[in-house]
Structure 1
Amino acid sequence: MPQFDLPLEQLRSYRTARAAPPGHTEYWQRTLAQSRAAGGSVRYQAVDAGLAVLDAYDVTFSGFGGHDVHAWHLVPRGLGDRLPVVVEFLGYGGGRGLVHERLTWAAHGFAQLVVDSRGQGGIWNTGDTPDPHGSGPATPGLLTRGVEHPYQLYYRRLLTDAALAVDAAAELPGTDPDRIATIGHSQGGAMALAAAALNPRVAATGARAPFLCGIARNLQLTDAVPYGELSAYLALYRDRAEQVLDVLDHVDLTFLTPQIACPTWISVGLTDLICPPSGIFGAINALGQVRPEVRTWPYNGHEAGGPHDEAHLAGWLHQQLPG
């Protein structure tokens, strides 16, 4: 499809007109402190997945509210016992699946932590982590869950899980706690950036077509799911738009990326109707402490660079996490 958003020259300077919600920093500090206080130890056990060159572990760590979150930990054999670790977060609707389904980063010589997404795993891959919180009226999907109040948001819980997954990665066998990267595509990209913003342990972060960037802007540009869930909700709750968008600003990456201090890599498809480019560039241009590497793909949508991005990102990660 043709490009529908701002021209690239304007994207490179685009900034949202919205301001961070009052108390945004304290909101996240309180959320993380409460969840860490409620958490327990990281638990893991070896699993036999039939892998010839990798050791696999079933991991359980404490996420938001001390809730159990599951993950797979994959460690290449014969490369030493202090490997750089890539924490991988997953796209919308998917879970960690089976051990053998996600081996890319371990195949490139990293220890790899594949983090399950709470309450997901029913669209394109299986999951094992429940979300014990309910919500008020919401459209099918995740984006409108808990939009009554910032402390009820589903994505508050999920982004907290992402930040605490980094703590768990630092404790696992075969990993170097000083060389932790976060990566992901779409929702996973949002989680990767949020983890880098919220957890100073992150040494590098990479996001392909990240979700949750410029939520209010995206609502004006697309009705593709997941943002279509929000437009459908507001078509029923006609007088709640500003209230709901103010709540969702608490989990908008535009207001978290200024806290990122590590090397950052982001890829954008310029025909992306699912996560429109201007929303992503608003988050990119809000980065204040680092100058990110940005790759743009003029003829690609939500896949952005796809396997080309993954090949490039593997090399970039080795540069950022040398040893």
Structure 2
Amino acid sequence: MPLNFDLSLEQLQSYQGTNPRPADFDEFWAKSLAELDVTEPRVEITPAEFSAPFARCEHLEFTGIGGVRVHAKLARPLEDAEGPAVLFFHGYNGRSTPWTELLAYVARGQTAVAMDLRGQGWGAPATGWAVSTQLLLGLEEGADRLHMRHAFLDTVRLARTVMDLPGVDPDRVATTGHSQGGALSLACAALEPRIAQVAAVFPFLSDYQRAWELALGEAPYDEITNWFRKRDPQHQRREEIFTRLGYIDIQHLAPRVRARVDWTVALEDVVCPPSTQYAAYNKLTCAKSMRTYPDFGHEDLPGIEDALYTVLHPL
């Protein structure tokens, strides 16, 4: 187990993070959730072009912060008998989970929903779509304008929308995703306490200053270095910038999570370094477990999808 670039496993298990936590962090998120509460959701559900004989496949859209329309795939059993649901969130600059993967969950009686993140996936408005730089979008305009703040709130709106659907038990809703999707799964559970289960695989969006200090030169955290090179070459605003990023750092949201958390880490991951993940994992106070791949990086992990399917059983 080389682990040449990061902390030892023993150090990881006690690491508490580097990125500063803003003094008004809790107030910030209370205000953000209050803003979401007064934003009209305007939920629309329409039939999808994809079909399966044992499922209803539909497009779900809602309005998020700033009036942005957010899209998700909705696949659910034909009968409205009350049952569990799983929310799927995708990786950075990716797109929603394919219908065929959602059907495995529908086949055992679960509603499966896959969101396209604003500015990245299928439902991205042309004015907000970007190939990269979503991480720092809005940074210089203030914490309230951070793109990832809006994305975190979109996950909450999605969860609440799904919890209100016929056939969904609001106390049996889970979240899952890899990388950015893992981070969104955790943020959703932190901001919507009714989420019952989280299955996160090497989550992104954690301990930004630690990722930057490791200087691995890997996307997407290299966006931070590029920002300093172009906007603050002498690092005169370093403390201000990392404190602002602290509002969207999942390690600071972690203590709010009440769901059971299944976490997967790859110890050779130079994209989402293990220490940035343990910074959040070590702050979880809920029931939790860690699955470790010692010789793998940010890549396809053998057996992981089957493991997640087992973990995300009907609660």
**TM-score scaled by length of structure 2:** 0.90
Identify which of 274, 277, 294 aligns with 1:298: 294
Aligned equivalents of 2:56, 2:176: Cα separation in 1: 21
Matched-pair contact (CA < 8 Å) for 2:75–2:102: no
One-letter identity of the residue aligned with 1:141: T
Aligned equivalents of 2:65, 2:57: Cα separation in 1: 25
One-letter identity of the residue aligned with 2:196: A
CA shift in 2, pair 1:101/1:18, >3 Å: closer
Identify which of 271, 275, 281 aligns with 2:268: 271
Aligned equivalents of 2:78, 2:296: Cα separation in 1: 36
How many pairs are equivalent?
A: 309
Displacement of 1:310 in angstroms is 2.1
Per the alignment, residue 105 of structure 2 pairs with: 105
Displacement of 1:47 in angstroms is 2.5
Matched-pair contact (CA < 8 Å) for 2:180–2:205: yes
Aligned equivalents of 1:84, 1:49: Cα separation in 2: 22
Per the alignment, residue 68 of structure 2 pairs with: 67
Matched-pair contact (CA < 8 Å) for 1:40–1:66: no
The answer on 1:142 being equivalent to 2:134 is yes
Per the alignment, residue 89 of structure 2 pairs with: 89
Of 153-162 and 102-111, more deviation after overlay is shown by 102-111
Please list the CA deviations of residues 1-50 of structure 1 after superposition, one character each: whole Å capped at 9, or x if unmatched. Answer: 94221111111111114442011111111111112211234221223413
In structure 1, the gaps of 5 or more residues are 122-126
Aligned equivalents of 2:45, 2:131: Cα separation in 1: 36
Aligned equivalents of 1:132, 1:242: Cα separation in 2: 31
Counterparts of 1:146-185 in structure 2 under 5 Å?
A: 146-148=138-140, 149-185=142-178
Of 42-51 and 263-272, more deviation after overlay is shown by 42-51
Identify which of 220, 224, 228 aligns with 1:226: 220
CA shift in 2, pair 1:151/1:133, >3 Å: farther
Per the alignment, residue 209 of structure 2 pairs with: 216
Per the alignment, residue 199 of structure 2 pairs with: 206
Aligned equivalents of 2:306, 2:101: Cα separation in 1: 18
Please list the CA deviations of residues 277-297 of structure 1 after superposition, one character each: whole Å capped at 9, or x if unmatched. Answer: 000001000112x13111111
CA shift in 2, pair 1:257/1:99, >3 Å: same
One-letter identity of the residue aligned with 1:266: W
CA shift in 2, pair 1:131/1:257, >3 Å: farther
Per the alignment, residue 316 of structure 1 pairs with: 311
Aligned equivalents of 1:5, 1:167: Cα separation in 2: 38
The answer on 1:116 being equivalent to 2:116 is yes
Amino-acid identity (%) = 35
Aligned equivalents of 2:139, 2:41: Cα separation in 1: 29
Displacement of 1:133 in angstroms is 6.4
SS at match of 1:75: strand
Matched-pair contact (CA < 8 Å) for 1:39–1:65: no
**TM-score scaled by length of structure 1:** 0.88
Please list the CA deviations of residues 296-318 of structure 1 after superposition, one character each: whole Å capped at 9, or x if unmatched. Answer: 110111136x3522212222222
Aligned equivalents of 2:288, 2:249: Cα separation in 1: 18
Structure 1 segments of 4 or more deviating over 6 A?
none
Matched-pair contact (CA < 8 Å) for 1:70–1:116: yes
Aligned equivalents of 1:171, 1:307: Cα separation in 2: 35
Displacement of 1:176 in angstroms is 1.7
CA shift in 2, pair 1:139/1:206, >3 Å: closer
CA shift in 2, pair 1:228/1:139, >3 Å: farther
SS at match of 1:256: helix
Per the alignment, residue 190 of structure 1 pairs with: 183
CA shift in 2, pair 1:44/1:139, >3 Å: closer
CA RMSD of aligned residues (A): 2.3
Per the alignment, residue 124 of structure 1 pairs with: none
Please list the CA deviations of residues 214-261 of structure 1 after superposition, one character each: whole Å capped at 9, or x if unmatched. Answer: 111011122211101111111222233222111111100010001001
Displacement of 1:102 in angstroms is 4.8
Please list the CA deviations of residues 78-115 of structure 1 after superposition, one character each: whole Å capped at 9, or x if unmatched. Answer: 6x621210011111111237644654433454210111
